[in-house]
């Protein structure tokens, strides 16, 4: 059942900058953490250039899916959890700065779209900001239900707190209906990464891959070399089986994660844009053949633990936590599941295709929150209000929440070394979005997953199979989008 919780922060949270700086280094305010918090990097001091405004207690109304509570916590007090309290401080700073109160509605993710649709079609103007499911929420943009961010005067998508590549997955004709970035700590937490077992590396006398990452040479070929001879029978029955409690693997992975994280990290993309920012289905056979061969080698040739059964998904991280896998492909939030792991582990970005690729790229799970503004925000004064608060929430998260997410929650509390913490920047600042994945998850967006599950190698026939239907799907999306903009 939907529950509506109001957060009135403007009066409750009035801290001076000096007091905040002092509390940041007080272990009593950070739960389990007993180390000093690293000073916020200088780059987080980038200003948002927002005007001085007081909205005199006006309510800013937010709806978000259950499970994404970390984006906007509803408690009106600090709890001792570092991430929660950082989000609370973010909200308090924005509330105090602009004289507003927050009203937050939670609902099941499947119901959020319906709530937004009802509100917009009825003209009831119930929400100012919506956090929606990436895949299911994408349809809102095609039905005249959300507002292009280009119509929000104070949202500056060139600022570092917004994902730089978001337009590739969600913009059509230079109208961007959904955005993401620091405003959603939950989204950052479900970004793909790679874990490695440092204890196993030490036992095998292997160098940690950190320097390979920094030099630009952390590639699928390197990972293939490292995992080539790792998978082996350890329980003495003469075979490597998933049911064993002792057999060791080079990689532990899940079929709803690793095909996407490896494909996009290697530069794969199924939809391109023309000069007018109109998307079109654009499979590139030569490129994708090369990418898939490398993925196939790491997973199939090297006999990785590749779990395809949803019910057995917990075994993927458990195998790594038990010290029976050299690598684990997962999301950043999985680090919390490894809290009690006996072996030391580190975090890396997913490897590139080759050293010529310019950057590391991170897949964002389809369950990620995306941010949108309902089409009922129509007047100039409403758009000014909403755009100021949205930009302020994002920029303040960049300064207040993300450093805690990295420094405290991920670096201090869970990961076991400072170098892994540095790797997190490679992960969260190069996230990619593909319109094919977002809009055709079951179909062309999953073709690598389907090929791996079958152990198949015929890329050409798979891409050809999707050619007509995928092109038509993209064409229909553009038509619906154009109709939405004209209505």
Same domain for 380 and 459? no
Averaged pLDDT, 219-239 = 95
Asked whether residue 182 falls in the same domain as residue 324, the answer is: no
> Would you say residue 404 lies in a domain?
yes
pLDDT tens digits along 374-385: 999 999 999 999
Q: Which residues pair with 371 in a beta bridge?
A: 131, 179
* 331 & 471 share domain: yes
Nearest to 204, CA basis, from 340, 323, 28, 49: 323
Tens of pLDDT, residues 463-478: 888 888 889 999 998 9
Tokens of 447: 């073709």
* pLDDT band per the 50, 70, 90 thresholds, residue 169: confident
What are the angstrom distances between the C-alpha of 262 and each of 204, 329, 448?
25, 9, 10
For residue 1, CA distances in Å to 4, 250, 303, 342 come to 10, 44, 45, 40
Residues 33 and 132 in one domain: yes
Q: pTM of this prediction?
A: 0.86
Within-domain flag for 133: yes
Please indicate, yes or no, whether residues 354 and 451 belong to a single structural domain of this protein: yes
Domain closes at, from 384, 414, 444: 414
For 282-300, what is each residue's pLDDT tens digit? 989 999 999 999 999 999 9
171 and 279 part of one domain = no
In a domain, 427, yes or no: no
**Alpha-carbon separation of residue 104 from 76, 213, 325, 386, 390 (angstroms):** 12, 41, 42, 15, 14
- Tell me the two tokens of residue 59: 């309510």
C-alpha span between 111 and 119 (Å, rounded) = 12
What is the 8-class DSSP label of residue 410? I
In a domain, 430, yes or no: no
The per-residue pLDDT for 70 is: 77
Q: Give Dmax (Cα) for the chain.
A: 73
Of the candidates 308, 357, 354, 349, the one whose C-alpha atom is nearest the C-alpha of residue 331 is 349
Q: What CATH number is given to the structural domain containing 251?
A: 3.40.190.10
Beta partners for residue 373, in sequence order: none
The verdict on 453 and 381 lying in the same domain is: no
- Residue 407 and residue 309 share a domain: no
User: pLDDT tens digits for 86-145?
Assistant: 999 999 999 999 999 999 998 887 899 999 999 999 999 999 999 999 988 888 888 889
Q: Are 273 and 211 in a shared domain?
A: yes
Q: How far apart are CA 359 and CA 353, in angstroms?
A: 10
Residue with tokens 């050293």: 355
* Domain match, 19 and 125 both: yes
pLDDT surpassing 80 at residue 233:
yes
- C-alpha angle 174-180-182 in degrees, rounded to nearest 5: 135
Domain that holds residue 477: 192-363+436-486
Is there a single domain that holds both residue 15 and residue 34? yes
Task: Judge whether residue 31 has pLDDT over 70.
Answer: no
Total domains present in the chain: 2
Residues 257 and 332 in one domain: yes
425 located within any domain: no
- The first and second tokens of residue 325, run together, are 């896998």
Measure the CA–CA gap between 199 and 206, rounded to whole angstroms: 10
């Amino acid at each position: 059942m939907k529950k509506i919780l109001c957060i009135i922060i403007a009066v409750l949270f009035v801290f001076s900058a000096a007091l905040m700086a002092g509390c940041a280094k007080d272990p009593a305010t950070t739960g389990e953490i007993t180390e000093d918090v690293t000073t916020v990097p200088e780059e987080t001091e980038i200003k948002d250039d927002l005007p001085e405004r007081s909205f005199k207690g006006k309510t800013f109304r937010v709806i978000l899916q259950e499970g994404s509570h970390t984006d906007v916590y509803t408690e009106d007090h600090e709890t001792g959890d570092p991430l929660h309290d950082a989000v609370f401080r973010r909200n308090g700073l924005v509330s105090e700065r602009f004289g507003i109160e927050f009203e937050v509605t939670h609902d099941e993710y499947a119901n959020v779209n319906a709530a937004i649709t009802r509100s917009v079609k009825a003209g009831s103007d119930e929400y100012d900001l919506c956090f929606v499911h990436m895949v299911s929420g994408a349809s809102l943009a095609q039905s005249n239900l959300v507002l292009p961010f280009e119509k929000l005067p104070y949202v500056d998508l060139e600022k570092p707190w917004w994902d730089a590549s978001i337009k590739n997955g969600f913009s059509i004709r230079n109208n961007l209906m959904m955005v993401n970035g620091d405003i959603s700590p939950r989204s950052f937490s479900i970004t793909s990464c790679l874990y490695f077992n440092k204890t196993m590396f030490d036992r095998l006398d292997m160098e940690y891959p950190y320097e390979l990452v920094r030099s630009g040479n952390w590639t699928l070929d390197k990972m293939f070399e490292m995992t080539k001879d790792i998978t082996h029978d350890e329980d003495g029955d003469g075979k490597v089986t998933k049911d064993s409690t002792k057999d060791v693997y080079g990689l532990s992975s899940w079929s709803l994660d690793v095909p996407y994280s490896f494909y996009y990290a290697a530069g794969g993309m199924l939809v391109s844009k023309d000069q007018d920012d109109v998307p079109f289905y654009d499979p590139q056979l030569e490129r994708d053949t090369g990418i898939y061969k490398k993925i196939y080698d790491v997973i199939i040739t090297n006999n990785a633990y590749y779990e395809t059964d949803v019910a057995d998904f917990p075994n993927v991280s458990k195998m790594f936590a038990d010290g029976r896998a050299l690598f684990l492909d997962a999301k950043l939030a999985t680090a919390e599941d490894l809290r009690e792991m006996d072996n030391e582990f580190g975090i890396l970005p997913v490897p590139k295709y080759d050293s010529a690729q310019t950057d590391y790229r991170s897949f964002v799970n389809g369950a990620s929150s995306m941010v949108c503004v309902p089409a009922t925000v129509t007047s100039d004064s409403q758009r000014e209000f909403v755009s100021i608060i949205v930009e302020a929430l994002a920029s303040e998260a960049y300064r207040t929440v993300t450093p805690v997410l990295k420094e405290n929650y991920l670096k201090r509390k869970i990961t076991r070394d400072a170098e892994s913490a540095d790797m997190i920047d490679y992960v969260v600042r190069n996230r990619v979005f593909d319109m094919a994945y977002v809009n055709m998850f079951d179909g062309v967006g999953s073709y690598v997953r389907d090929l791996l599950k079958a152990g198949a190698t015929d890329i050409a026939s798979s891409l050809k199979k999707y050619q007509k239907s995928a092109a038509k799907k993209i064409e229909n999306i553009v038509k619906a989008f154009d109709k939405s903009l004209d209505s």
